[in-house]
Amino acid sequence: MMNTITLTEKDIHTGPLVLVNADHPVDASYETKLVSVESDYADIFLNQKAATVLANIFQTIDSEDFIVPVSGYRQQEEQKQIYEDSLKENGSEFTDKYVSLPGHSEHQTGLAIDLGLNKNDIDFICPDFPYEGVCQRFRREAVKYGFIERYPEGKENITKIAPEPWHFRYVGFPHSEVMRDKNLALEEYVDYIRGFVYRKKHLRIQKGTQEMEVFYIPAGDEEEMTVTLPEYLAYQISGNNVDGFIVTVWRRQHE
């Protein structure tokens, strides 16, 4: 039995792999289900799946007393206020490095979280999150769960954002591990996956007894597109917010 999934142009702009940056804004049609990150930070929200995954990471490394959420989902008006306040307080050079333009911030997707060491004085824009101790343990575990450090050092020319050790983005597994293993920023990963087109060559990833298959469906001129998958397979389809869809399929090794 086969399962036929219909995709529309609107679907290009939603999902865990949407690329949001200076060139690709959050689309007006973007929607996500938000929940509080945790009860102690009821005013900080994330996409429901991302929040669940983040809680699992914290539990795995027993970090809840040492790492705190600083900033999660932001509405357009909040991002605008943060940007304007930073211009006044820090100037344009600093703001251009660390604060995205309203409409172009990952925080508006609910898929991004800024984290900081738990201490009395936490900088909202640049919280302390060093490459050692519990923070580094978080980085190592985060990739296994689907989070990436979104703006690493050495990728500034690609992301157009200065290194932000505190900013993490949920993209889902296995995409997070592929990005780490191949040293790809999200911009590069979206481009990389375009090389694995539906019904041609697919990216295959082996993890234990599980095989994952990733491929790209370019958006055409049609209002609707379809993808056909075996009915018994688990799958995820995400728009890339640029020009198509990234499909992830989970297979057992013997299939």
Please identify every residue annotated as catalytic: 164
Residue 76 has a CB neighbour count (10 Å cut-off) of 13
3-state secondary structure of 27: coil
62: region left, alpha or beta (phi > 0 left; psi from -120 to 50 alpha): left
Tokens found for residue 56:
């699992």
183: region left, alpha or beta (phi > 0 left; psi from -120 to 50 alpha): left
CA dist., res. 98 & res. 161, Å (int): 6
Residue 225 has a CB neighbour count (10 Å cut-off) of 19
Per-position DSSP letters for 203-247, written without gaps between them: EEEEETTEEEEEEEEE--SSSEEEEEEETTSEEEEEE-SSSEEEE
Tracing tokens 């296994």 back to the chain, one arrives at 144
β-bridge pairing 41-47 and 67-71: unpaired
